[in-house]
Structure 1
């Protein structure tokens, strides 16, 4: 993959951020959590489900005060600082983790089906399969079965002896496909092509922490920006 120019990089980063916010919005709405979209922010108006932020910045330099009144503040709340350019310590937040946004141009035509078949990625198609998938991921109760009916979302799995051994989620939003919740032993093997089968000819985007970057970078992904997740720690005990 040829390196992305600065203008294209900025556009891809913005698309990645909005894609991630769309995915978080879908998860929140599946749990009955009301959400709000503003020019600078996406926010859950009640506490978001486990593992999901209560707010996400949608542009660099967003002012936290503009969204502070929209989220359920207090211990356990979290904010995804999509450009890693905020200081939320005065608001009682501490950094939870840093990560890198990544992207990959789509596979060439004709490559996707054979590669995906070879690594036996399949689309999760039932509530029973989703229950097995979430158990393997360690995310019990996070993904309601109603998400399976969303045409912009695919839960992907590698199964062995009737059990999920690797998985990922792909979500289509605007010009890109987000790849998230990647888990299992060497889970990136064949995943790019499996996503391409579901949503052909769309660039892939996502984010990974530094310790998990080597495998996607070896497949041709490029980093396009940094993010930071802030949180207010849960009370002890």
Structure 2
């Protein structure tokens, strides 16, 4: 299977000398194109650092990150910003919507920032897929939390990115709304052929993925295919053995 993102011997160290903290330690992994990968681990295991390095939001101290064959380390900050706008989508726990803009304007904001025109047909399809076809003119304050997260997902999809990255995208949602959002991410993979990489602490959320990567002490220590919530929860209880 083709790989959307490849990390080779990626390390990330914050600080220097005795105060240095290694968030990632020589991580090597390929994230499959058209797949749904969940990343799990205890607090401080390096999950968010992994996601940020993979998405080009942070620069590794050592190692290589390639997005669709593009080596991120060779790009200037300007080119890296352009790449993130055009080829990467982000869904965070905080919805990060602009209160004064409508749903449609929030969704198309990345396109406007990239000085690209929105395709009205595609915008309409994305809004329909996330269940907001009749809400294009509403503002965030008129929406529920779950609807706001759906706007954030639509915004991540509208540029047709190579990869959608999610950092605890259901962490601020109630159980039923979280299930709807996870089903939507699953549909993006199954129906649109999208690639999704999601950091989560929730075994139920991880069960929507094709593969779960487990991090501990800055390293990938295990992987699970076709995960179930029970199997993920059981595996998480044994990750403490890897923590120094």
TM-score, structure 1 as length reference: 0.31
Decide which structure has greater helix share.
2
> Normalised by the size of structure 2, how large is the TM-score?
0.30
